[in-house]
Structures are given as C-alpha cells and as structure tokens.
Amino acid sequence: FLIYNEIGKIGGMCGLDNIDIKKQQNAELWYFTFKNNKFGMADMAVSLVETYSMDIGLKSLYTKVQSTNDKSIKLMIRNNYTLSDTQQNVRISERNPNIADMYTYVKMLTK
C-alpha cells in the first residue's frame, strides 16, 4: 500500500508478506516512511493494514524491527504490539547483507 501525505506526495509504503491464511492465520507487516511526515501517518497506515488483515481472515500480525530503530519500536508499542522475540546478529534482509539485532513484535487482531 502507498502512503500519501497531506500534500498528495508519497510519504511511505506498507504491506504484508508471508501471508498464511490457512494454518497460522498471520502475516508479516512491513512499512517505511519518509522524513518530515506528519505525526500519526504511520499509525493510520498500520491501522488500515490491520483492518484489511482481519477482513481477509488473519488473526495476528508480526513485524521485525532493527533494535536501533527507535521510531519503529515506538510505533509498534503505541499500536499495542508486544515484543515476542529477539534475534542477535542476523542479516537484515535478502537484499541487505548488514547484520543487526532484530526484535519481533506481535499483535493479535480483534474487531
């Protein structure tokens, strides 16, 4: 999903990966926003993705956050995600070979 700011420019993106509708009924939430966006824009995007996730039958979402990404950690806590796992010295992604500690945050979805 594209996130637009108040002046109609792209302010970020968010989406779901690893969607499992049949067994675990969860998906991985990912997002990034650009600098100088209005406070609360990412919160609204997360809320909209949560609603969409419930509409397609998911029971929970999880997200992985680098331990040094204070803004994303605060976003998850503000939106009632719970720290469920810490992994040390892992590769950030398939495209990014850098190593970092990663936190996994989880939220059970309820209407």
Whether the Cβ atoms of residue 49 and residue 29 lie closer than 8 Å to each other:
yes
The one-digit pLDDT tens for each residue of the chain (111 residues) are: 888 877 788 888 888 999 998 898 999 998 877 777 777 788 888 999 999 999 999 999 999 999 998 989 999 999 999 999 999 998 877 788 889 999 999 999 987
Give this prediction's pTM: 0.85
The pLDDT score that the predictor gives to residue 62 is 96
The overall average pLDDT reported for the chain is: 89
DSSP string, the chain: -EEE-TTSSEEEEEEEEEEETTTT-EEEEEEEE-TTPPTTHHHHHHHHHHHHHHHTT--EEEEEEETT-HHHHHHHHHTT-EEEEEEEEEES-SS---EEEEEEEEEE---
Sign of CA dihedral 84, 29, 94, 99: negative
